[in-house]
Amino acid sequence: MENGAARPVIVAIDGPSGTGKSSTSKAVAAQLGLSYLDTGAQYRAITWWMVNNSIDLDDPTAVAAVAAKPEIVSGTDPAEPTITVDGTDVAAPIRTQEVTSKVSAVSAVPEVRARITELQRSLAASAEKGIVVEGRDIGTTVLPDADLKIFLTASPEARAARRSGELKGVDVHATREALIKRDAADSSRKTSPLAKADDAVEVDTTDLTLQQVIECVVTLVEEKRTAK
């Protein structure tokens, strides 16, 4: 660019649960001085609000009717990502089993997706140096013009082992079944399902360390920046 400043770089990282999206995205963003957005946290936040307000989650019309009500604010500093709903810090309560088991139903509702997608695009557009956005439909729907798209995968066994390592005392088999069920729901919904964009680079993380995945993505971003 004329003034020598790098143009903002937009990186989309998608994939199923436990493939390493959050850890990789946060580290890559921190290393490259970019913003970071966890879009799963936004879907969890709106789900938390629906549960708290006793909305009937089996009724998509009821969910759609209130989709615009909660104010969801994401802080995009990778060193300290934050998420609030109507001013309340919900970073911890959005990770409960209850929210995890209900988030797929809420995030399948088109009005919910339209609302959250708009928030995501506006955050990406205002990130001065660029942003790493992770989720399920970032490369396909939210930011189809991203400079780099990554699709992370890993075997269900590796993903379940990683997740049950986080949730102390939770059985690996039960975790594996729950992950597979959630992936199936997220991949089969009508509106912007979990999918690899045609132009995404697929990285199988089953036999890679987190550090190796981070290095791989940083290298890909730097290659794109040089080519820009």
Ligand X SMILES: Nc1ncnc2c1ncn2[C@@H]1O[C@H](COP(=O)(O)OP(=O)(O)O)[C@@H](O)[C@H]1O
Site residues (vs ligand YYY, CB under 6 A)? 17, 22, 39-41, 43-44, 103-104, 107, 135-138, 182, 186
* Chosen from ligand YYY, ligand X, none, partner binding at 208 (C-beta under 5 to 8 Å by type): ligand X
Q: Pick out the residues of the known binding site.
A: 15-23
Residue (of 130, 36, 123) closest to 77 by Cα position: 36
**Residue 166 interacts with which of ligand X, ligand YYY, none, CB < 5 to 8 Å by class:** ligand X
Binding mask 157-186 for ligand X (x = CB under 6 A): -----x--xx--------------------
Q: How many CB atoms lie within 10 A of CB 211?
A: 10
For residue 226, the minimal CB distance to ligand YYY (Å) is 28
Contact by Cβ (8 Å): 14, 69: no
For residue 205, state whether it binds ligand X (rule: CB under 6 A).
yes
We find the least distance from the C-beta atom of residue 107 to ligand YYY, in angstroms, to be 4
Cβ neighbors of 92 (< 8 A, separation 6 or more) are none
Parallel, antiparallel or unpaired: strands 82-85 and 72-75? antiparallel
14 token code pair: 């998608």
E strands in 39-118: 72-75, 82-85, 88-89
CB 15 to ligand YYY: min, Å: 8
The smaller minimum CB distance to ligand YYY, of residues 102 and 225, is found at 102
Q: Which position among 51, 195, 201, 208 is part of the footprint of ligand X (CB under 6 A)?
A: 208
Q: Is 153 in the site for ligand X (CB under 6 A)?
A: no
- N-term to C-term CA, the chain: 10
- The candidate with the shortest Cα–Cα distance to 11, out of 128, 139, 122, 119, is 139
**Is there a contact between 179 and 38 (Cβ–Cβ < 8 Å)?**
no
By the rule CB under 6 A, 83 interacts with ligand X: no
Chain positions contacting ligand X, by CB under 6 A: 15, 17-23, 162, 165-166, 205, 208-210, 213
